[in-house]
Amino acid sequence: MLTRNLVCAVLLAGTFYSTAGAALAQDASVKPHVPLQKTIGVVTPTAPVPSLFVLNSAGATLQNDKLTMTGVSANSIVFADRPVRSAGHVTTEQFIRQWDKDKDNFINDPPNATISVVETVRR
């Protein structure tokens, strides 16, 4: 009988000990949602970013080192990968106006270009 009472007392003390530790434990605090710091659609003025441009046209000729495009699209695509990732559109007229703006203009430093031709085959 004494052994039985002793076993019950030890079990009861163990139960109190384990539940007391659980009662003192705290749940991990849930951090509130923080909205994004940058608002989409708002332009932040920065220094000029080296960018690449895509100009589309209906036709083109290449003579010596001169590329002449015909039927050029009214809008051009502009994008940059590093240091700033950005992309957008600019009117081709605005893009052409910038060709001779600064000392790093296209006359003094002609741009590199790649030509991609998509031909529709009619059968």
**pLDDT score at 39:** 64
Cβ–Cβ < 8 Å for 51, 79: yes
**pLDDT score at 12:** 52
Phi and psi, residue 24, nearest 5°? -80, -20
**pLDDT score at 55:** 92
- Token couple for 122: 């009619």
Summarised one tens digit per residue, pLDDT across range 13-28 is 555 555 555 555 566 6
Stretches where the chain sits below pLDDT 70 are 1-28, 35-40, 123
> ∠92-96-102 over CA atoms, to 5°?
140
